[in-house]
Amino acid sequence: MSTEDSFDQLRTRALASLAEARVDAEIDAWRVEWLGRTDGRVTALLRAVREQPQDQRAAFGQAANGLKSALEEALAAKQDDLKRQALAALSTTQAIDVTLPGRPQPLGRLHPVTQTLRDCLKAFQEMGFRVAEGPEVEWAYYNFDAARIPEDHPARDMWDTIWVNTLIDGERKMLLRTHTTPNQVRVMERTPEPPVRVVVPGKCYRQEATDATHEWMLTQIEGLAVDEGVRMSDLKGVLYEFARKMFGQERKVIFHHSYFPFVEPGVEMAMDCFICRGSGAECKTCHGTGWIEILGAGMVHPEIIDNAGYDSAKHTGFAFGIGVERVALLRWGIEDIRNFYQNDLRFLRQF
C-alpha cells in the first residue's frame, strides 16, 4: 500500500471518529488522540519523517503535514458547529420576543418647589451669599426667645406652633420650627466675627387650617448679612435685585413698614404685578392693587447682634424671610398652594 493510501485511511478514520463527538469533552479527547503535542498520532507521524528512507522522506512529510492541516481544519469546523448549535438551542429556550412593547423608562425631574428654591438660592449666591442649614426640630429658645419673641408674645399664638411632646425640666421645649429665623442666631453663634452673608433654606411647620394660600408645611429662605456699615439701602438693593432676577429685569419694588420682633425697622417688600401690570381691577394675583407682597425683612435688632457676641455699635445687619411656595405660585400662576404636596403627577409633570 502506498504512503498516500494509508494516509487517506487515517484521515477517514479520524474524521469518522470526530463526527461522532457530541460534547466539548469528547472533542477534546479526540484532539489529544490525534493532534496532541506529545502522543498525538499525527505528531508521531511528523516525528517519523526523519526515519524514512531518503527517497520517500519528502512524500511522507508532505502527506503527514497534509493530514495535520486537514484534521486541524475539521476540528475548527466542528467546534464552530457546536457553538452554533448551542446558540440555536438558546434562542428557542430564551427567545427574545421583539414584538413586545418596550418597558417605559419614567423620566424624573425636580419638584417645582425645589426648582424654585434652587433658583432663589442661586440668585443670592450670585450676590455673594453662602448657603447654610439648620435643624427642623428646634429649641423654643432659638425659634422664639433668641429672636426676641417672649413667652407671652402674640406671635407664638399667631404661628400655632407644633410642639414636640417631650418634657425637659417639666416643660415642652422643642418644636417644629415655625420659621427659618432661628438660624440668624445659630449662624452668628458659629461665626466668631462678621462679615456674615448667608441664606438658609428649609422647611417650616405651622398648625394651619389649610386653604389656597396656606399649608401647614412651607419652605422658607432666611437671609442674613452682618458687617460694619450695613445699611437699609443694602437690604433694598439686594432684595430689589432678587425680585428682578426671579421675575424679570423690569420689576419694580416697594417697601412698606411692618413689624417683626427680631428686626427694627421691619418691612414687607412688594413688587409690581407682572400679570396685570397694575391695570386689572379684577386681577387674582394682586387683587387689583397692582402690588404683590413677596417677603418680610428688616434691619437685625441690635439686641440680637449683641447677644450673638458682636458689638451693635460697630456691626449692623439686615435679614429677610422668603416663602418659596409663594414665589413658585407666582412664577407659574398656580392658584392653590395645596397642589404642591398632593403628589398628583398630572400637576407635577407640568413643571
Residues that bind ligand PHE (CB under 6 A): 179, 181, 260, 263, 266, 296-298, 319-321
Closest CB to ligand PHE among 255 and 347?
A: 255
Active site residue 76: no
Residue 254 phi/psi, 5-degree rounding, is: -140, 145
Among 155, 159, 187, 308, which one carries the catalytic annotation?
A: 159
Pair 15, 74: CB distance under 8 Å: yes
| Min CB(277)–ligand PHE separation in Å | 27
DSSP string across 60-88: HHHHHHHHHHHHHHHHHHHHHHHHHHHHH
Distance in Å, CB of 166 to ligand PHE, minimum: 24
159 catalytic? Reply is yes
* Residue 333 and residue 308 in contact, taking contact as beta carbons nearer than 8 Å: no
Whether 206 is a known active-site residue: answer: yes
What is d(CA 210, CA 337) in angstroms, rounded to the nearest whole number?
Answer: 9
Number of Cβ within a 10 Å radius of residue 313: 9
- Smallest distance, Å, CB 321 to ligand PHE? 3
Q: Which is nearer to ligand PHE, 45 or 218 (CB)?
A: 218
The verdict on whether 281 is a catalytic residue reads no
> Residue 21's closest CA among 96, 62, 63, 78?
78
Q: Which of 147, 319, 327, 328 is labelled catalytic?
A: 319
Least distance in Å: CB of 238 to ligand PHE?
13
Cα first-last separation, the chain: 91
> Considering beta carbons, is residue 10 or 305 the nearer one to ligand PHE?
305
For residue 159, the minimal CB distance to ligand PHE (Å) is 8
Q: In this structure, what DSSP letter does residue 97 have?
A: -
Instruction: Write down the catalytic residue from 186, 206, 301, 315.
Output: 206
The residue with its CB nearest to ligand PHE is 321
Q: Which is closer to ligand PHE, CB of 45 or CB of 123?
A: 123
Question: SS3 letters for 210-228?
Answer: CECCECCEEEEEEEEEEEE
Collapsed DSSP state (helix, strand, coil) of residue 322: strand
In terms of CB distance, is 10 or 319 closer to ligand PHE?
319
Q: Which of 14, 198, 220, 238 is catalytic?
A: 220
Residues with catalytic roles: 159, 179, 206, 220, 263, 319
